[in-house]
Structure 1
Amino acid sequence: MCGIAGIISPYDRNVALNKMLELQKHRGPDNTGNYADKGYACLGHNRLSIVDLSTAANQPFLDNSGRYHLVFNGEIYNYKELKAEIGSKYTFRTNSDTEVLLASFIVYGKKCLEKLNGMFSFAIWDAEEKSLFAARDRFGVKPFYYSETPEEFYFASEIKSITAVLGNNEPSLKVWANYFAYGSYGLPDETFYKDIFQLPAGHFLTFMDGNMKIERWYDFVENVNKIQVSDDFEKTKSEYLKLLKDSISLRFRADVEVGFNISGGVDSSLLLALVNQYEKKEKIRAYTFYTGDERYDELPWVQKMINETQNPLSKVRLEVEEIEELSEKISSFQDEPFGGFPTIAYSKIFQQARKDNILVLLDGQGMDEQWAGYDYYAGNPTATIQGQKGYTSTFKKHCLSDDLMQYAEKSEYPEPFDNQLQNLQYRDLFYTKIPRALRFNDRISMAHSTELREPFLDYRLVEFAFAQPEHFKIKGNVHKYLLRELVKELVPSDISYAPKRPLQTPQREWLGDDLSSWVEEQLNRLTEGRYAGWFDLDEVYREWEKYKEGERQSSFHIWQWISLSTL
Structure 2
Amino acid sequence: MGRLFGVLENGQKPGFIAQIHARLARRDALCRKLSLDPFEVDDEILITQAYTAWGEGCVDQLEGEFAFAIWDDARKVLFCARDRFGVCPFVYAHTPERFAFASEIKTLLSLPFVARDLDFQRVGQYLADVSGAYPDQSSTFYRMIRRLPPAHTLTITQTSALTLRRYWSLDRERETHFASDDEYAEAFLHHFGAAVYDCIAGRSLISAQLSGGLDSSSVVAAARVLMPADDVLHTFYSHSALAERDEHTYVDHLLNALIPARVKHHIVNEPPPFADFERILAIHAEPPSSANPVVFDSLYGAAHDAQLPIMLDGDDGDTTVSHGIGLLPEMAHRGEWGRFLAESVALAVRGKSPVSSLRGYFDRYASPALMRADLLSLWRVSGEIAPAMKRAHAAQFAALAAKRARAAAPDGIKRMARRVCGKPDPALFDNLTLNADFVREIGLDAWMRANRADDARLIDVRHERDLHIKTLLFGGHQVVLEENDRLATYHGVQGRHPFRDIPLVEFCVSLPPEVKLRLSWTRWILRRSMRGILPPEIQWRRDKTNFSPSINHGMLTAHRDLLDSVVLGGVGDVIAPYVDRAALRETYAKLLASQPYTTLHYSERMEYAARSVRRAVILALWLS
What is the TM-score with the length of structure 2 in the denominator? 0.75
- CA 1:281 to 1:508, structure 2 compared with 1: closer, same or farther past 3 Å? farther
Whether 1:539 aligns to 2:583 is yes
Q: Which residue of 1 aligns with 2:436?
A: 402
Whether 1:317 aligns to 2:317 is no
Q: Which residue of 1 aligns with 2:95?
A: 149
> 3-state DSSP class of the match of 1:559?
helix
Q: Which residue of 2 aligns with 1:373?
A: 323
Q: Which residue of 2 aligns with 1:15?
A: none
| Alpha-carbon separation, structure 1, partners of 2:91 and 2:61 | 24
| Alpha-carbon separation, structure 2, partners of 1:104 and 1:195 | 32
> 3-state DSSP class of the match of 2:534?
coil
- CA 1:496 to 1:433, structure 2 compared with 1: closer, same or farther past 3 Å? farther
Most deviating of 501-510 and 128-137: 501-510
| Alpha-carbon separation, structure 1, partners of 2:352 and 2:311 | 30
| Alpha-carbon separation, structure 1, partners of 2:459 and 2:250 | 38
CA contact (8 A) 1:251 1:453 kept: yes
> 3-state DSSP class of the match of 2:153?
strand
| Alpha-carbon separation, structure 2, partners of 1:295 and 1:457 | 29
Alignment-mate amino acid for residue 42 of structure 2: S
| Alpha-carbon separation, structure 2, partners of 1:418 and 1:472 | 18
Q: Which residue of 2 aligns with 1:241?
A: 189
- CA 1:482 to 1:256, structure 2 compared with 1: closer, same or farther past 3 Å? closer
- CA 1:388 to 1:427, structure 2 compared with 1: closer, same or farther past 3 Å? farther
Residues 65-103 of structure 1, C-alpha deviation per residue, up to 9 Å, x if partnerless?
xxxx2211121122222122222xx79994212211111
Question: Shift of the alpha carbon at 1:341?
Answer: 5.9
CA contact (8 A) 1:342 1:503 kept: no
Q: 2:14 is matched with which residue: 41, 56, 79?
A: 41
Residues 253-288 of structure 1, C-alpha deviation per residue, up to 9 Å, x if partnerless?
455622111111111111111111111375111111
| Alpha-carbon separation, structure 2, partners of 1:340 and 1:216 | 26
CA contact (8 A) 1:401 1:533 kept: yes
Whether 1:527 aligns to 2:572 is yes
> 3-state DSSP class of the match of 1:3?
coil
Residues 123-173 of structure 1, C-alpha deviation per residue, up to 9 Å, x if partnerless?
101233321011111111111111112210011111111122145222211
Question: Shift of the alpha carbon at 1:378?
Answer: 5.9
| Alpha-carbon separation, structure 2, partners of 1:135 and 1:351 | 29
Q: 1:70 is matched with which residue: 6, 13, 18?
A: 18
> 3-state DSSP class of the match of 2:67?
strand
Residues 483-510 of structure 1, C-alpha deviation per residue, up to 9 Å, x if partnerless?
1111232111111011232441511122
| Alpha-carbon separation, structure 1, partners of 2:428 and 2:247 | 24
Whether 1:3 aligns to 2:46 is no
| Alpha-carbon separation, structure 1, partners of 2:512 and 2:230 | 35
Alignment-mate amino acid for residue 286 of structure 1: T
Alignment-mate amino acid for residue 261 of structure 1: Q
Question: Shift of the alpha carbon at 1:516?
Answer: 1.4
Q: Which residue of 2 aligns with 1:96?
A: 42
- CA 1:115 to 1:417, structure 2 compared with 1: closer, same or farther past 3 Å? farther
| Alpha-carbon separation, structure 2, partners of 1:312 and 1:532 | 49
Any unmatched runs of 5+ in structure 2? 333-349, 358-426, 601-605
CA contact (8 A) 1:180 1:396 kept: no
| Alpha-carbon separation, structure 1, partners of 2:279 and 2:168 | 35
CA contact (8 A) 1:395 1:557 kept: no
CA contact (8 A) 1:92 1:99 kept: no
Q: Which residue of 1 aligns with 2:301?
A: 351
Whether 1:268 aligns to 2:312 is no
> 3-state DSSP class of the match of 1:345?
helix
- CA 1:96 to 1:488, structure 2 compared with 1: closer, same or farther past 3 Å? same
- CA 1:417 to 1:395, structure 2 compared with 1: closer, same or farther past 3 Å? closer
Question: Shift of the alpha carbon at 1:374?
Answer: 8.4
- The within-5 A match list for 1:92-241 is 94-165=40-111, 166-185=113-132, 187-209=136-158, 210-220=160-170, 222=171, 224-230=172-178, 232-241=180-189
> 3-state DSSP class of the match of 2:544?
coil
- CA 1:525 to 1:395, structure 2 compared with 1: closer, same or farther past 3 Å? farther
- CA 1:331 to 1:479, structure 2 compared with 1: closer, same or farther past 3 Å? same
What is the TM-score with the length of structure 1 in the denominator? 0.82
CA contact (8 A) 1:366 1:457 kept: yes
Q: Which residue of 1 aligns with 2:618?
A: 563
> 3-state DSSP class of the match of 1:192?
coil
Q: Which residue of 1 aligns with 2:246?
A: 297
> 3-state DSSP class of the match of 1:295?
helix
Q: Which residue of 2 aligns with 1:22?
A: none
- CA 1:419 to 1:376, structure 2 compared with 1: closer, same or farther past 3 Å? closer
Most deviating of 432-441 and 120-129: 432-441
CA contact (8 A) 2:271 2:294 kept: no
> 3-state DSSP class of the match of 1:41?
coil
Alignment-mate amino acid for residue 359 of structure 1: P
CA contact (8 A) 2:212 2:545 kept: no
| Alpha-carbon separation, structure 1, partners of 2:59 and 2:459 | 23
CA contact (8 A) 1:394 1:556 kept: no
CA contact (8 A) 2:274 2:294 kept: no
Q: Which residue of 1 aligns with 2:556?
A: 512
CA contact (8 A) 2:324 2:464 kept: no
Question: Shift of the alpha carbon at 1:357?
Answer: 1.1
| Alpha-carbon separation, structure 1, partners of 2:512 and 2:39 | 47
Bigger RCO (CA 8 Å, 6+ sep): 2
Q: Which has the larger radius of gyration?
A: 2
CA contact (8 A) 1:340 1:559 kept: no
Task: Indicate the RMSD between aligned Cα atoms, in angstroms.
Answer: 3.0
Q: Which residue of 2 aligns with 1:428?
A: 471
Alignment-mate amino acid for residue 399 of structure 1: T
Question: Shift of the alpha carbon at 1:396?
Answer: 4.5
